[in-house]
Amino acid sequence: MYLYNSATHKKEEFQTHTPGHVEMYTCGPTVYHFAHIGNLRSYIMEDVLEKFLRYSGYDVNRVMNITDVGHLSSDADTGEDKMLKGARREHKTVMEIAKFYTDAFFADCEKLNIRKPDTVQPATGCIGEYIEIIQGLLDKGYAYVAGGNVYFDTSKLQRYYIFNDHDEEDLAVGVREGVEEDTNKRNKNDFVLWFTKSKFEDQALKWDSPWGVGYPGWHIECSGISLKYNGDYLDLHCGGVDNAFPHHTNEIAQSESFIGHPWCKQWFHVHHLNTNSGKMSKSKGEFLTVSLLEEKGYDPLSYRFFCLQSHYRKSLVFSWENLDNAQGAYQKLIKRVAALDPGDGTVDQAVLGEYREKFTQQVGNDLNTSMGVTLLYDALKAPASGATKLAILESFDQVLSLSLLEKAAAVREEQAKVKAAQAQAGYTVTGEGDPEIDALVKARGEAKKAKNFAEADRIRDELKAKGIEITDVPGGAVWKRV
């Protein structure tokens, strides 16, 4: 497998510290509001990556944090805690907000077929680990106390900027919401490990520490949780491209300074979901959620299909027209799968193996999900039995997770009900599961039965123009696309 590495700025063969085993960490949500579909694009692609690693034979331990304290409204240690902001907005406690939006996040993930990570750790559950790391950094001279807070001293590093190939807009995360200068910092890039007096007044959650009552900075949380559950050697760290600086940059700085050796070899960043007016974000009010998609009549898996048709390292433009196209294509794909007969022959293991190999090679080239989708269509056109095609699609869907076989089975079941009703009415239509075409074919049959041959011919011509071929059979008709 080859994967683009944000730390080296090139595509590399994927390697792990322990052969056959992957320690994987995903930056989880800050649970002060619903996740918007731009956030969820990252989690979809990270889910595909995890599932592809498992598909390729790796044992994967995936860890995710839930940020329920310490993430300020600017990523540069200024502003107020987002959790406190959410609690004030809804007149609830921080922990009530955290639980509600954590549950909502995983409900959205379930609708999008995103697998829950092996370990999910709220940041508030590892305060002792953060204190231990911070004390270790102080002891080693990588941190200092000023103005009641503990800061990481970036001047002690030989190299601080790791992800320097990102756009200026991505690197200016902390600037977008207005950054005030912190006069306690020795260097402009220094960042807070532990807040006390300077951010104490309104903070709902606070703990005792050697430096006074306070709470952890956002960046230390991911390092503490990953070191606890992934160990000292992390193979793969994932997140949105806007996390690269300063969040992931600071994670590397503090983690490697604490453990004394290189920490994570492979960094995987998913690019933004944009609207016509730019990057989707909560602060801009462009707040599209999975629930909103459902309210408008979209299957959440149509959005997953939409994401899979693009490469994770390219910005993806969202519009309702684009989502309409994706949903239409997804529904047609399900109908084509439903048209396959599970009882048609047996599974040809050689053909199945050939397609698995193609899938591994294509998707394994920097997680090229669009080629994975293309291979779905190639399999449908393959000169193979229905049983073999379904086995290929089932194999691919272990990674793509579009619920193709389950939804196709539901379509077949509905078709069986329709056919039974038609049989009772004396006319059976058999086709590829398109209700509009079924209705036209049935109307033609009724016209013929009523000896209205002009209308029957008109409908036949209309179907022919749509590329539909009809064959009359005893008691009904069979249609297919040509």
Residue 449 confidence (pLDDT)? 85
**Pair (378, 448) in one structural domain:** no
Residue 177 confidence (pLDDT)? 38
Does residue 418 form part of some domain? no
- The pLDDT > 70 percentage for the chain reads 90
Q: What is the mean pLDDT of residues 387-411?
A: 96
**Pair (85, 212) in one structural domain:** yes
Does residue 417 form part of some domain? no
Domain extent, residue 204, equals: 2-270
Residue 170 confidence (pLDDT)? 43
Does residue 464 form part of some domain? yes
> Of 349, 371, 405, which one is at a domain's C-terminal end?
405
**Pair (167, 79) in one structural domain:** yes
**Pair (263, 116) in one structural domain:** yes
Residue 205 confidence (pLDDT)? 83
**Pair (18, 54) in one structural domain:** yes
pLDDT digits (tens, 9 = 90+) for 242-292: 999 999 999 999 999 999 999 999 999 999 998 877 666 665 555 799 999
pLDDT digits (tens, 9 = 90+) for 181-234: 678 899 988 999 999 866 656 667 889 999 999 999 999 999 999 999 999 999
Residue 114 confidence (pLDDT)? 98
**Pair (177, 259) in one structural domain:** yes
**Pair (194, 123) in one structural domain:** yes
**Pair (189, 61) in one structural domain:** yes
Does residue 287 form part of some domain? no
Is 417 a residue whose pLDDT tops 60?
A: yes
Least confident of 71-85, 135-149, 314-328: 71-85
**Pair (240, 192) in one structural domain:** yes
The larger pLDDT score, comparing residue 432 to residue 53, is at 53
Is 408 a residue whose pLDDT tops 50?
A: yes
Number of domain units in the chain? 3
**Pair (231, 131) in one structural domain:** yes
pLDDT digits (tens, 9 = 90+) for 285-342: 557 999 999 999 999 999 999 999 999 999 999 999 999 999 999 999 999 999 999 9
Domain with residue 384: its CATH number is: 1.20.120.1910
> Of 405, 437, 455, which one is at a domain's C-terminal end?
405
Residue 442 confidence (pLDDT)? 87
pLDDT digits (tens, 9 = 90+) for 441-450: 989 988 988 8
Does residue 338 form part of some domain? yes
Confidence of residue 172 (pLDDT cuts 50, 70, 90): very low
Domain with residue 156: its CATH number is: 3.40.50.620
Residue 111 confidence (pLDDT)? 98
Least confident of 63-72, 332-341, 387-396: 63-72
**Pair (336, 463) in one structural domain:** no
Confidence of residue 167 (pLDDT cuts 50, 70, 90): very low
Does residue 192 form part of some domain? yes
Does residue 419 form part of some domain? no
Q: What is the mean pLDDT of residues 353-375?
A: 97
The larger pLDDT score, comparing residue 172 to residue 104, is at 104
**Pair (264, 315) in one structural domain:** no
> Of 270, 285, 310, which one is at a domain's C-terminal end?
270
Confidence of residue 75 (pLDDT cuts 50, 70, 90): low
Does residue 53 form part of some domain? yes
Map the chain to HEC letters. CEEEECCCCEEEECCCCECCEEEEEECCCECCCCCCHHHHHHHHHHHHHHHHHHHCCCEEEEEEEEECCCCECCCCCCCCEHHHHHHHHHCCCHHHHHHHHHHHHHHHHHHCCCCCCCEEEEHHHCHHHHHHHHHHHHHCCCEEEECCEEEECHHHCCCCCCCCCCCHHHHCHHHCCCCCCCCCCCCCCCEEEEECHHHCCCCCCCECCCCCCEEECHHHHHHHHHHHHCCCCEEEEEEEHHHHHHHHHHHHHHHHHHHCCCCEEEEEEECCEEECCEECCCCCCCCCCHHHHHHCCCCHHHHHHHHHCCCCCCCEECCHHHHHHHHHHHHHHHHHHHCCCCCCCCCCHHHHHHHHHHHHHHHCECCCHHHHHHHHHHHHHCCCCHHHHHHHHHHHHHHHCCCHHHHHHHHHHHHHHHHHHHHHHCCEEECCCCHHHHHHHHHHHHHHHCCCHHHHHHHHHHHHHCCEEEEEECCEEEEEEC
The larger pLDDT score, comparing residue 434 to residue 309, is at 309
